[in-house]
Amino acid sequence: MIDEKILLSLKYWFTEYVKGFYSENADFQQNIDMKVEHTRRVCREIIDIGKSLSLSQKELFLAEAIALLHDVGRFEQYAHYQTFVDYYSEDHAELGVKIIKSNGVLINSDEPTRDLILRTILYHNRAELPKDETERCLFFSKLLRDADKLDILRVVTNYYQENNGKRNEAIELNLPDLPGISDNIYADLLAERIAKAKDLKTLNDFKLFQMGWIYDVNFTRTFQLIRERHYLEKIRNALPKTERVLKVYSKIKTFLEQGCQEIY
């Protein structure tokens, strides 16, 4: 169980841990700040979604603890490799689990809770959730994945709107900014499937790939927040208005509208 006191101590640990990565290099510090801010917002999103599902206060504390710790591996990853791209460095979820264990962060929680938190973190960036997990673990994994996606959509849409052509190599895959959408990406998204990272060839592919995360959204509240914040439109506006882009947008938009109507 995670109670208010344990959650507070986890927040204190997180704040102190992150201070160890502060730097006088402005770009470096900006990337650290970005992940701290992301963590704070994922905590808020997970509580919002959790409340929409009428979770108990006890479960909301647990959900918040999961959100607080989910990206703890990002700091070490950036310090070591200067990138947030797992493909160029290492799996930040696995790294996070190692850090939580070696720092004894969850020492005050009972074993089942500790285990649940670690597994949820481990699964949060996987293409698919494992089939052989408990209902409870899958539920909290879905909560985290929705909260995380919501905030990544905020980060990327801000980035596309405000970067004025300046690219941040830490959050991009260094894909060339060429016109056109690759065939496999297009086919998957039209078939309401999550596109595959290995098929990404251009920055436009990457933007559409992010739009397609909607196919992996689990909760009605998440769909509603995506709609309220116009994330799909913001990504579409950062893309050329080609036939392929408009077709994919319209398909995904319909999927979003349906998701908003579902009753949970």
Interface positions with Fe ion (CB under 5 A)? 71, 148
Please say whether the beta carbons of 207 and 239 come within 8 A.
yes
Dist. CA 219–CA 208, nearest whole Å: 21
- Lookup: tokens for 83: 């990138």
Closer to Fe ion by CB, 168 or 237: give it: 168
Closer to Fe ion by CB, 148 or 188: give it: 148
In sequence order, the 6+-apart residues with CB closer than 8 A to the CB of 131 are: none
Closer to Fe ion by CB, 45 or 148: give it: 148
Least Å distance between CB 90 and Fe ion?
16
- Of 249, 216, 255, the C-alpha closest to 235 is 249
Least Å distance between CB 148 and Fe ion?
4
Least Å distance between CB 42 and Fe ion?
6
Least Å distance between CB 143 and Fe ion?
13
Helices (H), 20-134: 26-52, 57-69, 73-81, 92-102, 111-123
Closer to Fe ion by CB, 15 or 254: give it: 15
Least Å distance between CB 115 and Fe ion?
21
Closer to Fe ion by CB, 204 or 210: give it: 210
Burial class (CB in 10 A: 0-12, 13-18, 19+), 166: exposed
